[in-house]
Structure 1
Amino acid sequence: MTEATYPPLDIPKPVAQDLWVVDSGPMRAMGVIPIPVRMTVVRLASGEILLHSPTRHLPQLQAALESLGPIRHLVAPNIVHWTFLKEWQTQLPGALTWAAPGLRQRGTVKRSGVRLDRDLHEGPLPDWPEELDRIIVPGGGGFREIALFHRPSRSLILVDLVLNFEPEKLPFPLRPFARAMGITAPDGKAPAYLRAVVRMGGSRACEAGRRLLATNPERVIFAHGKWFDRDAGARLERSLRWLTR
């Protein structure tokens, strides 16, 4: 089977001025399906580093990131992408951890002992980097995904609202299923269960989707699969038709 991930792994790879990705994994969906996972790294105007959806911690990765600037912000953007936070917090006790609203109320989060310092609610937030716009995409059952728009590079940063798997990187028996679900390249989208959850957010979710499109990004980075490095605005519009129409 072709490796599911996007090597080289666990190193910062530049994609734009003050913007990097760190590819990692594979993680095992449902315990068996190998999927790639990705962190986005932003160097702020202050020179500080923000990690969006941190992947696994490795000493050499931390050292590489700290060569770019001091790591001062960790972001848990939805109810799934928080599981590596504690590893980073142990090594970086002074970093501020930002979380999707409602994450701290979840039982698994409480039991994990992870520290969540600030909730990423709407409106002004003290200490939040001014060059990063927040778009909160709501859904049912307390779901929220916090999308970030990095204005200097015109980059939209998501996690699960777009999945864009390359079929050749999936186990052969799963390829027809992934194609049927619409989560394969070149213009993947959210999986069916997540589309159902987000649609429960009603008009607020639809408006958030339109706000994502209105950023007209030069690139769209997300956690799983091949991110949109060209024709990003048009590809995002096709990926989000289930939400915005």
Structure 2
Amino acid sequence: MPEATYPPLDVLKAVADGVWIVDSGPLRALGIPLPVRMTVIRLRDGALWLHSPTRYDPRLHREIAALGPIRHLVAPNIAHWTYLKAWQDHCPEALTWAAPNLRRRGQVRRSGLRINRVLADAAPPDWEADLRQTVVPGGLSFREVGFFHDASRTLILTDLVLNLEPAKMPALVRPFLQLARMTTPHGQPPPYLRLVIKLRRRAAARAAAELIALKPERVIFAHGLWFAGDATARLRHALRWLGRFS
């Protein structure tokens, strides 16, 4: 069985000055083993910002805390919240920020997850000096918030781009993943998510155009091989299903 993830797992990996990732997983979705990734940013005030936290691990917690105080836990869309409760329990001083509509989900209410703030198009004062953000809308209450770290020219997404490596996937599902363009070099989200986002295609395309206009040097996302180089062109290619971008 191929290794779907990106070892070593559940450890910090430096990406740029003040930017780290944590690879974890795999998660299983529709029988597909998915690698999953958290991004950690150190803000200029020294506080740490955790985007889409992966599974809680005490050793990882200590490693992150050695960089500075964990102040922000971010659920960037309505699907990426599963591990937040454990991080909340171990980081009681951190604020939890969530994409619009997440708190409406019955699973979320039953989980006991505490949501302190809802993410908007404009970055809050807590990190506006470091990060810009854009809400990408869709139908059926879907929202994903993209973040741009100005200092490192890093764009941080979640499910808007999915770039699985065929060799890491089970042989039986490779043809489906490739046909669905969920693999390298296409980087598209699953067909059902594309349909959901296309329910608000015009607004989503405008938001995607804003992300491309940032001209990121790298694009990090939750699942698959992230864009470490030629990032703007690869992002444009991955989002072409939304239409043309000026």
TM-based fold match above 0.5: yes
Identity of aligned residues (%): 57
Alignment-derived partner of residue 65 in structure 1: 64
Q: Which runs of 4+ in 1 moved over 4 A?
A: none
Alignment-derived partner of residue 15 in structure 1: 15
User: Does the 8 Å contact 1:51/1:73 carry over to 2?
Assistant: yes
TM-score of the superposed pair, with normalisation by structure 2 = 0.97
Measured after TM superposition, the shift of residue 3 of structure 1 is 0.8
Measured after TM superposition, the shift of residue 2 of structure 1 is 1.2
Q: One-letter code of the match for 2:10?
A: D
User: Does the 8 Å contact 1:210/1:244 carry over to 2?
Assistant: no
Cα deviation, 1:19-61, whole Å, max 9, x if unaligned, reads: 000000011113x321100000000001111000000000000
Q: One-letter code of the match for 2:107?
A: T
Alignment-derived partner of residue 202 in structure 1: 201
Quote the Cα distance in structure 2 between the aligned partners of 1:124 and 1:196.
28
Pair 1:188–1:123, CA change in 2 (3 A): closer
Q: One-letter code of the match for 1:2?
A: P
Alignment-derived partner of residue 100 in structure 1: 99
Give SS of 1:173's match.
Answer: coil
Alignment-derived partner of residue 6 in structure 1: 6
Quote the Cα distance in structure 2 between the aligned partners of 1:73 and 1:216.
26
Q: One-letter code of the match for 1:7?
A: P
Q: One-letter code of the match for 1:23?
A: D
TM-score of the superposed pair, with normalisation by structure 1 = 0.97
Quote the Cα distance in structure 1 between the aligned partners of 2:45 and 2:123.
18
Cα deviation, 1:174-219, whole Å, max 9, x if unaligned, reads: 1111100001112311111111111111321110010111011000
Q: How does 1:32-181 map to 2 (within 5 A)?
A: 32-123=31-122, 125-181=124-180
Q: How does 1:180-191 map to 2 (within 5 A)?
A: 180-191=179-190
Pair 1:172–1:240, CA change in 2 (3 A): same
Quote the Cα distance in structure 1 between the aligned partners of 2:201 and 2:166.
32
Pair 1:116–1:86, CA change in 2 (3 A): same
Quote the Cα distance in structure 1 between the aligned partners of 2:139 and 2:235.
22
Alignment-derived partner of residue 29 in structure 1: 29
Measured after TM superposition, the shift of residue 123 of structure 1 is 3.5
User: Does the 8 Å contact 1:143/1:198 carry over to 2?
Assistant: yes
Give the number of aligned pairs: 244
Quote the Cα distance in structure 2 between the aligned partners of 1:86 and 1:244.
37
User: Does the 8 Å contact 2:157/2:221 carry over to 1?
Assistant: yes
Measured after TM superposition, the shift of residue 154 of structure 1 is 0.4
Quote the Cα distance in structure 1 between the aligned partners of 2:111 and 2:125.
27
Quote the Cα distance in structure 2 between the aligned partners of 1:13 and 1:233.
22
- Which 5+ residue runs of structure 2 have no aligned equivalent? none
Quote the Cα distance in structure 2 between the aligned partners of 1:125 and 1:150.
14
Q: One-letter code of the match for 1:143?
A: F
Measured after TM superposition, the shift of residue 126 of structure 1 is 4.1
Structural RMSD (CA): 1.0
Cα deviation, 1:129-153, whole Å, max 9, x if unaligned, reads: 4211011000001110000000100
- Which 5+ residue runs of structure 1 have no aligned equivalent? none
Give SS of 1:171's match.
Answer: coil
